[in-house]
Amino acid sequence: MIICPTMELKGGTCVTLHRGRLEEPAIYHVDPVETAIAWAGAGAEWIHVTDFDAVAGSGNNDALIETIILRARVPVQLAGGFRSRERVESWIDRGAGRIVLGTLPTRDPDTVKFLADRYPDQIVVALDIHQGKLMTDGWTTPSAIAPEDFLASYANSPLAGVLITDIDSDIDEPDASLGVLTGLAGQTRHPVIASGIVREIDDISRLKYVPNISGVLVGRALFARDVDLTEALEIARPEPGEVARFI
Catalytic positions are 8, 128
| Residues making up the chain, counted from first to last | 247
Residue whose C-alpha is closest to residue 213's, from 36, 39, 53, 4: 4
| Closest by CA position to 99, among listed 118, 121, 114, 73 | 121
Read off the amino acid at residue 168.
D
Measured CA to CA, the distance from residue 105 to residue 127 in angstroms comes to 10
| Beta bridge partners of residue 64, listed in sequence order | none
11 contacts: CB under 8 Å, gap ≥ 6? 53, 61
Cβ neighbour number for residue 79 with a 10 Å cutoff: 25
* Nearest alpha carbon to residue 56 among 78, 31, 29, 83: 83
Which residues fall within 8 angstroms of residue 181, CB to CB, at 6 or more apart? 164, 166, 192, 194, 197, 207, 210, 213
Using DSSP's 3-state secondary structure scheme, residue 96 falls into coil
Coil, strand or helix at 182 = helix
